[in-house]
Amino acid sequence: MSSLTQFVEMVQHMQWWHWWILAAVLAAVETLLPGAVAIWFAISAGVVGALLLLMPVPWPLQLLLFGVLGAVAVYLWRRYDRSGQESSALPHLNQRSAQYVGQICVLTESIQQGYGKARVGDGVWKVRGPDLPAGAQVRVVSAEGALLVVEPLSV
Q: What percent of the chain has pLDDT over 70?
A: 91
Nearest in space to 63 (alpha carbons), one of 25, 24, 7, 6: 7
pLDDT tens digits for 14-42?
A: 899 999 999 999 999 999 887 788 999 99
Nearest-angstrom CA–CA distance, 34 and 115 = 42
> Going by DSSP bridges, is the β-strand pair 147-152/123-128 parallel, antiparallel, or unpaired?
parallel
pLDDT at residue number 8: 80
User: What are the chain's domains?
Assistant: 3-83 (no CATH), 96-152 (2.40.50.140)
Q: List 109's β-bridge partners, or say none.
A: 117
pLDDT at residue number 131: 94
SS3 of the chain: the string is CCHHHHHHHHHHCCCHHHHHHHHHHHHHHHHHCCCCCHHHHHHHHHHHHHHHHHCCCCHHHHHHHHHHHHHHHHHHHHHHHHHCCCCCCCCCCCCHHHHHCCCEEEEEEEEECCEEEEEECCEEEEEECCCECCCCEEEEEEEECCEEEEEECCC
43, burial (CB in 10 Å: exposed 0-12, middle 13-18, buried 19+): middle
pLDDT tens digits for 52-83?
A: 999 999 999 999 999 999 999 999 988 887 76
pLDDT tens digits for 92-132?
A: 566 777 788 889 999 999 999 999 999 988 889 999 999 99
Q: What is the mean pLDDT of the chain?
A: 88
